[in-house]
Structure 1
Amino acid sequence: MYTDLQHVSLPPAASRPCESTSMTSVPIVQYASRTDVGMRRAANQDNLAVRVCPEFDEWNRCGHLFVVADGMGGHAVGDLASRITVTTLPLAYYKLDAVDVESRLRQAVIAANKAINDKSRENREFEGMGTTCSVLSLSSAGAMIGHVGDSRVYRVRRGRIEQLTFDHSLQWEMIRLGRATAENVELYHPRNVITRCLGPDLSVQVDVEGPFSVEPNDVFMLCSDGLTNHVTDEEIGVVLSGLPPEKSSRLLIDLANCRGGSDNSTVIVVRIDSYPDLNVRPSDSSPLPPAPPPAASAGIPVALMLLVALISLGLAGWTISRGRPELSAIFAITAVAAFLLSRYFRPEPATAARLPVAPLSPLPDDPLMDPSTSSSLRSSFRTSPPYRTVDCQNAQGLLTYLAEAQSELAQAARDSSWQVDFEELTQLGRQATAANQSEKPDKAIRARARAIELLMKEIYQRRGSSGIN
């Protein structure tokens, strides 16, 4: 199944050049959303929702809303959990009587969690079902994000892509706690194990990030991990910078499927054409908190307990030599207890507030993640948003890959006698080469994206006829 949803906001000024928007008009945004089953899954457990406010009053109070949910717990059950989320959350969000957008977001995500949990209690087959949830609100408060799980929200601005959400995954949590580094986490902790989701428990901890500033030409993207498992942050940034939402969302999913499509992929791309001038203190500008000071007094009780243990052991030996076994047993027990207490009082090593800045190195024999395509690579971790920032101004690496992918897919099409217009493919290839030589990477990417779209369309049709819907 390949769902293609394209949207442009309603105001007629959307086709005009970017201009300042007054505080009494709805901002002008372009957006597109797509979801795809991938190349290995039999069912799509991802779901999404989009709601754009046509009136200023509603936008000022609530804002435009974009939601991505990645279900888990079996084919039908995972799909049910994510569908409940994208249905319940927007309804709750716009109906709630909340004091601000932050409270509205948090309560709406909690309402979705309760709806899933209630449904799971109705039928034993639904037990344990869950879903990730990433939701973006664009309002007069700026950009606010509600987040649970490992789906992601990005912002692209002036040649850099920023990850605005923290992955609630085992790997990221181990790095955050200082129990692994970005260099060795792949060796000790499995990928795609999440530590937080909606549904299984009646209560859920919701991350609310923001407010983030919003500027004309900003691009926001929400996605499930089916995309980021195969497409790097840098590549995502290059695509979002160079293509409009309809084209960029299509190319990103095509890229994920070209590289194996091991999971369902869902993308919502939102481009800001104009936005009111807001007096927003961006949360992404706040400094990192200092590292916590070490506990200076923690060593005192440890030393005392060890001293008691040593004295007790000595007294136990002395009393047994004097023929007093009952006293010896008491002293021995005291020694053991003192030793155990010394371990209890021993301080944990202090964990720095900044997470290690180093590239992740996937296992070389991992079939699901090519080192050249992992979005976990070449990134820095921080303890406050943006959690990772990557430069995305160099398109040459992506263009090289797209040229190779077009060549290999075209050869497969000839070998298998696909119904493809090879003359158009050749022309698109020439256009891309000429544009790249003229230092017009955006135009080159557009041509390559169109060629890959034509080739992947044939693959999707054959995928459907093979029984994978």
Structure 2
Amino acid sequence: MSNNSAFRDALSHAALSDIGMRRSNNQDNFTVALASDEPFWQLRGHLFVVADGMGAHAAGELASKITVDTIPSLYHKFRDLPPPQALERALQEANAEVNRKGQANPDFHNMGTTCSALALLPQGAIAAHIGDSRIYRLRGDLFEQLTFDHSLVWEMRAAAKLPEGSDLAASLPKNVITRSLGPNATVKIDLEGPFPIQVGDAFLLCSDGLSGQLTDAEIGLVVSLLSPHEAAQSLIDIANLEGGPDNITVIIAKAVSPEAASPPDVKPFASSGGKVVPQPHPGVWAVFGAVAFLSVLFALLQWYPAAGVIGLAAIGILGFALYQWFQSLEGKKEPTRQRFGRGPHARVKVEPNAEFLTKIGNLVRKLRETAREMEWSIDYTDIDENLNRSASANDQGDLAAAVTAQIRALSDLMEQARRQPDKRSSDSSIDLV
């Protein structure tokens, strides 16, 4: 196998978006921009972006589309910046573009979008984020949320004004976000990472159409048991069968071989993208001249205490100016930060459990009942085989195999349900809750 083939096969990924069960249009958008070869991965890595638009009519869809269309090109455009700062700048520029479109057309006024962008680089995973879409990492049995939700609930909890499990926490709407791209001309972007990448690590990006319907433990369990493509489709299926009130977008990227992992001897992000230390501003020299003049004047007037104090100030200003001058002559730069944010912001341990097995089993049973009532044409051969495999594994105490087979039976049944004549994804006839 060639080195390039090994590199291409090192990362397994899947990206899917679904309109959900209640919406008439999909305001989510996503993009995947994979490095074409290893040298390019060394420079800019693989890029994944999820955006969940907000706004009347088609405004939200436009905002999220502008965002996912512009971020990859902007990220690669800012080659003079290290990847973290380039990604942050790309989101800021995307915000400016969404804001300009919103200001130019009354129909799009105040349109906005969340945005979660993930770059997988040799130095690790870098996340740039705004809103309540999420980025997770699964490592072994630990499922971590790398991003902070910019939502009313999370912000109040962070300010220690919302005790977990309190009545107030339960009463607050969970879909009120405090920050997004578009409504304002400038915006603060969160940067997180880098998080080192190991073989077997899986990263998941999603809109709140998924995280609002499944718990972190459930999402992490599905990702841990299935391939990225199977897991992405299964998560969407389960979210839809749990009500599917919103659009659902899922991206999963898994490092399956060392070529996609962080090398042990990886160098930190180059500091060449750091801000060049500037030459002293002309005003510094002017202030130094004025202070030095006052010091000499006071000395001539024999106001020695004042002259001494002002003279020390002049020496300090001169020292600072000379330091900046020599630094600029040597071309030195301020060091680039190597660690961003405070993530992970949440973590759960994932393990197969009887409760989730029962939950999936109930969804299968209810969907079979719906299929019978609607007189759908369903081939149950593989579905029943997976259900029998699940029951056998459960009897043997192998919960992982039991849950996996049960999920596959559900996804097979759901795939056939989608293919029924005149079946629309927003049809409430698959309302099982």
TM-score interval w.r.t. the shorter chain?
A: 0.7 to 0.9
Whole-Å Cα distance in 1 between the matches of residues 265 and 107 of structure 2?
A: 49
- Specify the alignment match of 1:452 in structure 2: 410
Unaligned segments of structure 1, at least 5 residues = 1-9, 14-24, 283-382
- Identity among equivalent pairs (%): 40
- Does residue 412 of structure 2 align to residue 429 of structure 1? no
Whole-Å Cα distance in 2 between the matches of residues 397 and 254 of structure 1?
A: 18
After superposition, what is the alpha-carbon deviation per residue over 1:21-61, rounded to whole angstroms, capped at 9, x for unaligned?
xxxx6781100011001101111000000011022221111
1:410 to 1:426, Cα distance in 2 relative to 1, 3 A: same
1:447 is paired with a residue whose SS is helix
- Specify the alignment match of 2:20 in structure 1: 38
Which of 96, 99, 102 does residue 120 from structure 1 map onto?
102
1:451 to 1:11, Cα distance in 2 relative to 1, 3 A: farther
Q: Is the 8 A contact 1:213 1:281 kept in 2?
A: no
- Does residue 414 of structure 2 align to residue 414 of structure 1? no
| Residues 80-91 of structure 1 aligned to structure 2 (within 5 Å) | 80-91=62-73
Whole-Å Cα distance in 1 between the matches of residues 362 and 63 of structure 2?
A: 39
Which of 180, 192, 212 does residue 229 from structure 1 map onto?
212
How much does 1:463 deviate?
Answer: 9.6
How much does 1:191 deviate?
Answer: 1.5
- Counterpart amino acid of residue 217 in structure 1: G
How much does 1:104 deviate?
Answer: 0.9
Which of 7, 12, 27 does residue 5 from structure 2 map onto?
12
1:121 is paired with a residue whose SS is helix
How much does 1:467 deviate?
Answer: 8.2
Runs of 4+ aligned structure 1 residues displaced above 6 Å come to none
- Specify the alignment match of 2:186 in structure 1: 203
Whole-Å Cα distance in 1 between the matches of residues 47 and 425 of structure 2?
A: 34
After superposition, what is the alpha-carbon deviation per residue over 1:91-144, rounded to whole angstroms, capped at 9, x for unaligned?
101111233111111011111111111111221111100000000000122100
- Specify the alignment match of 1:175 in structure 2: 157
1:399 to 1:116, Cα distance in 2 relative to 1, 3 A: same
| Residues 32-181 of structure 1 aligned to structure 2 (within 5 Å) | 32-181=14-163
Whole-Å Cα distance in 1 between the matches of residues 43 and 84 of structure 2?
A: 11
Which of 401, 416, 419 does residue 443 from structure 1 map onto?
401
Give the structure-1-normalised TM-score: 0.71
Whole-Å Cα distance in 1 between the matches of residues 421 and 64 of structure 2?
A: 24
How much does 1:277 deviate?
Answer: 1.4
After superposition, what is the alpha-carbon deviation per residue over 1:261-290, rounded to whole angstroms, capped at 9, x for unaligned?
0100000011111224145799xxxxxxxx
Give the structure-2-normalised TM-score: 0.76
Whole-Å Cα distance in 2 between the matches of residues 84 and 94 of structure 1?
A: 16
Which of 341, 359, 367 does residue 401 from structure 1 map onto?
359
1:276 to 1:464, Cα distance in 2 relative to 1, 3 A: farther
- Specify the alignment match of 2:249 in structure 1: 266
Q: Is the 8 A contact 2:196 2:262 kept in 1?
A: no
Whole-Å Cα distance in 1 between the matches of residues 358 and 170 of structure 2?
A: 30
Which of 233, 237, 250 does residue 233 from structure 2 map onto?
250
- Does residue 200 of structure 2 align to residue 217 of structure 1? yes
Unaligned segments of structure 2, at least 5 residues = 269-340, 428-433
Whole-Å Cα distance in 2 between the matches of residues 213 and 86 of structure 1?
A: 25
Q: Is the 8 A contact 2:377 2:420 kept in 1?
A: no
- Does residue 374 of structure 2 align to residue 392 of structure 1? no
- Counterpart amino acid of residue 243 in structure 2: G
Whole-Å Cα distance in 2 between the matches of residues 182 and 58 of structure 1?
A: 44
Q: Is the 8 A contact 2:32 2:48 kept in 1?
A: yes
The structure with the largest helix share of the pair is 2
1:27 to 1:467, Cα distance in 2 relative to 1, 3 A: closer
- Counterpart amino acid of residue 139 in structure 1: L
Q: Is the 8 A contact 1:77 1:126 kept in 2?
A: yes
- Counterpart amino acid of residue 18 in structure 2: D
How much does 1:88 deviate?
Answer: 0.3
How much does 1:248 deviate?
Answer: 0.4
Whole-Å Cα distance in 1 between the matches of residues 426 and 263 of structure 2?
A: 48
- Counterpart amino acid of residue 181 in structure 2: L
After superposition, what is the alpha-carbon deviation per residue over 1:157-185, rounded to whole angstroms, capped at 9, x for unaligned?
11010000000000100111122112224
Whole-Å Cα distance in 2 between the matches of residues 452 and 27 of structure 1?
A: 29
Whole-Å Cα distance in 2 between the matches of residues 280 and 243 of structure 1?
A: 30
- Specify the alignment match of 1:241 in structure 2: 224
Whole-Å Cα distance in 1 between the matches of residues 397 and 93 of structure 2?
A: 50
Instruction: Tell me the matched-pair count.
Output: 349
Bigger shift: 212-221 or 452-461?
A: 452-461
- Counterpart amino acid of residue 415 in structure 2: K
- Counterpart amino acid of residue 412 in structure 1: T
